[in-house]
Amino acid sequence: MLAIVYHFHVLPRYRAPFRHAYQAASEPLRQALGLLSHELHDPGERGEAFSLLLAWDSEASFVRFTRTWLGVWMLNGMGLERTAFAAAIEADIGDPGARPGTKRRHARKAPEAKGQPGKYHY
């Protein structure tokens, strides 16, 4: 199983449209081949990000999803303009069965100078 968590740093005034976009995508997501589960966690405080957890049966299923219209749309901010985000979209990618703290690389790694090792940006 492959678990991927996307962090969307949405500005407060765009949070309602972001939630609505995710709700609109829920039915097509249920039909995605290889997707075992998906959850969107709301940010707790003003400076926190939405977290979208996607659990896949394999890396091949995830790669196939990224090549669909739904995958491209979701992973590029669900239709919101870049100005709706306070920071770049981040992804934590790993295998839940792997050793804790290990990540698989999928996106380009952010510079270590930014101070968040293990975070990936699109």
pTM equals: 0.74
How far, in Å, are 7, 11, 18, 40, 52 from residue 43 at the CA level? 10, 11, 12, 10, 11
Q: Which pLDDT does position 95 carry in this prediction?
A: 57
What integer is the mean pLDDT of 22-48?
92
- Spell out the domains of the chain, with CATH numbers in brackets: 2-121 (3.30.70.100)
Residue 39 is encoded by which pair of tokens? 């959850």
Q: Which pLDDT does position 44 carry in this prediction?
A: 85
- Per cent of the chain over pLDDT 90 is 69
Q: Which pLDDT does position 93 carry in this prediction?
A: 87
For residue 54, the surrounding DSSP H or E stretch is strand 50-56
17/44: higher pLDDT: 17
Average pLDDT, the chain: 82
What integer is the mean pLDDT of 16-22?
95
What integer is the mean pLDDT of 6-29?
94
DSSP secondary structure, 31-45, as one string: TSTTEEEEEEE--SS
Structure confidence by residue, pLDDT tens digits, 57-90:
999 999 999 999 999 999 899 999 999 999 999 9
> Phi then psi for 109, rounded to 5 degrees?
-80, 140
